[in-house]
Amino acid sequence: MRKLKILILFLIYLSLPVSATTYSGGVTKIGQQESNKIIDSKTKQPVEFAKISIPQQKFRTFSDMNGNFELPDIKIKQPTILNVEKEGYRPFSLTINNNHSLSNPMQIEIARSEPFDINLDSEIIHLGDNSFSKNSASAGDFKLKSSGASYSKDFIMTENAKKSTNYLCIGSICGLDTLLAKKMGQNKIRTSAYSTPTEVFFNNQKIGEIKINGDGQRIKIPNSLIKADAKNQITIKTGHNTYASNHLDYDDIEMMNISILSE
């Protein structure tokens, strides 16, 4: 029964949009070509001058006229975020788990922006209290100081947005020490010391939770909560440790490429 439960959880994990081609791009080929390449997800043509970066490693490069780019020979021990930016395209990020991920050339598709897309933040954001163990997910690659236990952003949505299906999209998120992340092998914490899920709010109403680390995570925004042609607000709150303690211990997480995508 235990093996069956783990298998079911693994299949659920695989079904999640870890590299969601439809929404924010995706890795379509690994180790099937001689070099890394950025292409347009619709035309399949190379994308030149796209910026590729690994912020935690302070690395940045650009794709050439054929969409090709090279990655450095760096040591990665914990999940690290690789980011791709290009004007006119939706932001894309990918979690690299180890050096083997970098040694296999990959082809990355990026999707053009839609008229009602809203890019909220393209920088890495660290939530928590800067207190985490070496067994925490991605602990070895946390480079930024925490900006607090929550992140909020105000933005305007038009009346036309209410005619579409809208999603909050987080390009990449790592560091979650939830029970599900523990069962998926994403951290090595004691089971009794897991954290509550990260919570997502839209205009002060909770619209979802994030329980596992990964890429292309999206949460549907109910159109009934959208304030047309007025200020709206998204808030992301990190979880806290459920282990009995005399103080509140927040889960330290990092996330990148937060946006509102419309279909």
DSSP 28-95: EEESSSSSEEEEETTT--B-TT-EEEEGGGTEEEE--TTSEE--------S-EEEEEE-TTB--EEEE
Contact 76, 99 (CB under 8 A): yes
41 versus 184: which is more confidently predicted?
A: 41
Give the pLDDT confidence of 107-120 residue by residue, as tens digits: 899 999 888 899 99
**Cα 120 to Cα 242: distance, rounded to the nearest angstrom:** 30
pLDDT, residue 241, reads 85
How confident is the model over 81-107, as a mean pLDDT? 81
Instruction: Extract the tokens encoding 180.
Output: 């599900």
Residue 27 has pLDDT above 50, yes or no: no
3-state secondary structure at position 173: strand
Q: Domains (ranges, CATH) in the chain?
A: 17-110 (2.60.40.1120), 118-262 (2.60.120)
218-226: average pLDDT: 94
204 phi/psi in degrees, rounded to 5: 70, 5
Whether the predicted model's global pTM rises above the 0.85 cut? no
52 forms beta bridges with 61, 84
Write out the two tokens for 253. Answer: 């997480």
Say yes or no to pLDDT of 179 above 60: yes
Summary mean pLDDT of the chain: 79
